[in-house]
Amino acid sequence: MIANHLKLDLIRNIFLKWNGSKADFIQKLPQTASYREYYRISYNGNTVIGVLNEDKKENEAFLSFSKTFEGLNLNVPKVLAIDLDSNVYLLSDLGDATLYSIIHSKKHDYASSPELIELYKRALEQLQKFQIVADKKIDYNYCYPRAKFDRQSILWDLNYFKYDFLKLGRIGFDEQLLENDFHKFSEFVAAVDTNYFLYRDFQSRNIMVKDNDLYFIDYQGGRKGALQYDVAALLYDAKAEIPNPVREKLLNHYLDKLESVYGLSRAEFMKSYYAFVLIRIMQAMGAYGFRGLFEKKVHLIKSIIPATKNLKYLLESGKIDFDIPHLHHVFENLINSNEFKMYQDRDLPNNKLSVTITSFSYKREIPIDLADNGGGYVFDCRGLNNPGRLLDFKLLNGRNTEVINFLKLNSKVDDYMSHIYPLVDSTIETYLKRGFNNLMINFGCTGGQHRSVYCADEMFKYVKNKYDINVFLSHIEQGIKEEVIR
């Protein structure tokens, strides 16, 4: 592992060798779902991107594929300099606009934004060039971790879903019954024609838009595979939230081109398409669990609810008609779970400051700040006397009169809160002056039932009565939510 203080030196050195003079400025870019690190390097009014990735085999795959794609005039970043011994390379800078950022700027309004549909159609047409034209030129010896999306790869993805999403999301399942369905399902999917290039992560965040042209990045996981996978990855990209009628329109556009340009059968494609939709959704959910719930990457956590909606649509529309009964049962549990409701994006009618107040149990974890501000305040209520230790209060919570009276008489809870209010006031008033949008205030105790619930309730009442802002309350262990939107 490269020490943090040496990483910038590696980027500086490769740039100096390439350019012959030092950079004016180097800015580290926000990290995405991978462990690769990206740096924007400014010089003489120009910019390039420096990449540091300690996985050498992944670097070799990316660079080999890039050379092939560039030779076929496919729009990918131009490789400018390589130092594989140091795990760094330079790429042309494609800017910051992605297909997803444009979707987000249009507020996911596909009906009023026909340009989004056209961008998707163009992306699907370019995808076919990667899948079918580039396939004949790629050196598959560089693929990592496998040269083909075969049954082993499929089982890896299914187990990623099981252990990194279902387990972390506390979704119950029978291990043996689920394994039975996984093996049956993987046999079906593995039998599909895999004589094409599978991009592997063909989704809206990996499609750059520059000067009205589309460019494609993050294909280092590519390998031999089926056509259906990448189409599913793009059209069921959770956070893109494509309406189902638009999905059908785009799918038909892809199939029309598949037949008219490449002479391939749409009927054959559709026999297994929704199996690949399911595989892709489960693979993505594995990432939402590991990189989101475990590593706390907020944009992945926020993908859970829309991905769940996609699963619900597939089940209710009858598109998942495979003989996988226990997996169906698991999907139903997932769709009906309350575990992820706290991660629902809020559609606010104003730009006022939003304060989110939670009570939680330290037996679990401190709640994730979905505004990605780092969590705000976390107040530990475990120094207060715990009514939960007394039999009379065990089945009650911090909203019951008996518990409130105990806390007031035996825990000096009001004195405790009197020290917290001025701290919160100071921050809210500063945030209002500076135009900030989000603040999170968390109260934790052992079980998240008594002390933290009372304190969170008191803070909710205090803030909503004092400030003209949006206030949200969530008692995580009780599944209780309240809100005041001004």
- Measuring CA to CA, how many Å separate 92 from each of 217, 278, 314? 11, 35, 40
Q: Tell me the pLDDT tens digit for each residue of 30-78.
A: 877 678 999 999 999 999 999 999 999 999 999 999 999 999 999 999 9
**Does residue 235 share a domain with residue 132?**
yes
Euclidean distance between CA atoms 474 and 452, whole angstroms: 11
Task: Take residue 82 and report the two structure tokens written for it.
Answer: 């390589």
Tell me the pLDDT tens digit for each residue of 331-341: 999 999 988 87
Give the residue ranges of DSSP H helices in 161-206: 175-190
Interatomic CA distance for residues 73 and 464, integer angstroms: 58
The pLDDT assigned to 371 comes to 79
Same domain? For 315 and 382 the reply is no
Flag whether pLDDT at 27 surpasses 70.
yes
Residues 57 and 123 in one domain: no
Percent of the chain with pLDDT over 70: 99
State pLDDT tens for residues 387-412. Answer: 999 999 999 999 999 999 999 999 89
Which residues constitute the domain of residue 440?
A: 346-484
Model pLDDT, residue 466: 97
| Domain's final residue, options 321, 342, 363 | 342
Q: What is the crossing angle of helices 114-128 and 227-235, to 10°?
A: 160
What is the average pLDDT across 136-149? 95
Q: How confident is the model at residue 372 (pLDDT cuts 50, 70, 90)?
A: low
Name 177's Cβ contacts closer than 8 Å, sequence gap at least 6.
325, 326
Closest CA to 226 of 190, 202, 258: 190
Q: Which residue reads 């769940």 in tokens? A: 308
Whether residue 314 is found in the same domain as residue 351: no
On whether the pTM is more than 0.75, the answer is: yes
Let me know whether 337 and 360 are in one domain: no
Phi–psi pair at 114, nearest 5 degrees: -60, -20
Give dist(CA 442, CA 456) in Å, integer: 7
Q: Would you state the structure tokens that stand for residue 128, as one six-digit string?
A: 């076919």
State residue 120's pLDDT score. Answer: 98
Name the 3-class secondary structure at 459: helix
Q: Which residue has the tokens 């299914």?
A: 158
> Is a pLDDT exceeding 80 seen at residue 4?
no
- Checking if the pLDDT of 443 tops 80, the result is yes
- What's the whole-number mean pLDDT along residues 311-339? 93
Question: Residue 424: pLDDT above 90?
Answer: yes
Residue 163 carries which DSSP code? Answer: I
Q: Which residues on adjacent β-strands are paired with residue 91? A: 49, 79
Same domain for 426 and 303: no
pLDDT of res. 238: 95
Span 318-341, average pLDDT: 91
Cα-trace Rg, the chain: 26
Other Cβ atoms less than 10 A from the Cβ of 376: the count is: 18
User: Are both 273 and 356 inside the same structural domain?
Assistant: no
**Residues 323 and 188 placed together within one structural domain of the fold:** yes
pLDDT in tens, 221-234: 999 999 999 999 99
Residues 415 and 454 in one domain: yes
My answer on whether 253 and 327 are in the same domain is: yes
Single-letter amino acid code for the residue at 460 = F
Among residues 285, 315, 342, which one ends one of the domains? 342
What pLDDT is stored for residue 130 in this prediction? 98
Specify the number of domains making up the chain. 3
Give DSSP secondary structure letters for 249-302.
HHHHHHHHHHHHHH---HHHHHHHHHHHHHHHHHHHHHHIIIIIIIT--HHHHT
What is the average pLDDT score of the chain?
94
Last residue in a domain, options 60, 92, 124? 92
CATH, residue 18: 3.30.200.20
Residue-level pLDDT at 298: 86
Same-domain check for residues 70 and 117? no
**pLDDT tens per residue, range 248-294:** 999 999 999 999 999 999 999 999 999 999 999 999 999 999 999 98
Predicted confidence (pLDDT) at residue 347 exceeds the cutoff of 80? no
**Are 82 and 106 members of one domain?**
no
From CA 384, how far away is CA 380, in angstroms rounded? 9
Residues 428-435 have a mean pLDDT of 94
H, E, C per residue of 353-404: CEEEEEEEECCCCCCCCCCCCCCCEEEEHHHCCCHHHCHHHCCCCCCCHHHH
Q: DSSP string spanning 40-106?
A: EEEETTEEEEEEE-S-HHHHHHHHHHHHHHHHTT---PPEEEEEGGGTEEEEE---S-BHHHHHHHT
Q: What is the CATH number of the domain that holds 253?
A: 3.90.1200.10
pLDDT in tens, 294-308: 888 888 999 999 999
